[in-house]
Amino acid sequence: MPKSSLTHFTPQGHAQIVDIGGKDSTHRVAIASGQIVMQPQTLALIQAGTHKKGDVLGIARVAAIMGSKKTAELVPLCHPLALSHVTVDFSLDESLPGVVCQVRCETHGPTGVEMEALTAVQVALLTVYDMCKAVDRQMCMDNIRLLHKAGGRSGTFDERLDAPSPTR
């Protein structure tokens, strides 16, 4: 359910970082997902581990974790968070063909970790693109979205239970 006002703006329309000083610290979890579609031959290189640049998904996993930790530096009005846990999972999908990335971020604090999970997915997919662009410049990142969030005043969001967005 959308909020009636955008909290990153003052009543005068000026950008602001949201005041979280009075919010309770709770366990916060967010799960995001996205995919990168590629030529079947590119996916085969990743799957076989024969790409000349090395372990594409291993490097992308580290990049995702680093990206999650740098979110507040990249997104101007995000609060810096102390992440307590980040997991990055990849699955190879021959029907795309491509790679699906799912990231779970956790913290204990007064604000959520949705942006960290979404940033981590994007950075992971960008890293796959960077490592494979020499063999496939037509790769396309797609379907980046929040799957789940829990903790805090706004309650739980779960993509499976809430209405799908009109773009999917």
Catalytic residues: 130
At position 101, the amino acid (one-letter code) is C
What stretch of H or E contains 89? Answer: strand 83-93
Evaluate whether 136 touches 42 at the Cβ level (below 8 Å). Answer: yes
Alpha carbons within 13 A on the beta-carbon side of 116: 27
Q: What is the CA radius of gyration of the chain?
A: 18
Residues of 126-144 as b/e, b for ≥16 C-beta within 10 angstroms? Answer: bbbbebbeeebeebebeeb
State both tokens at 27: 């366990």
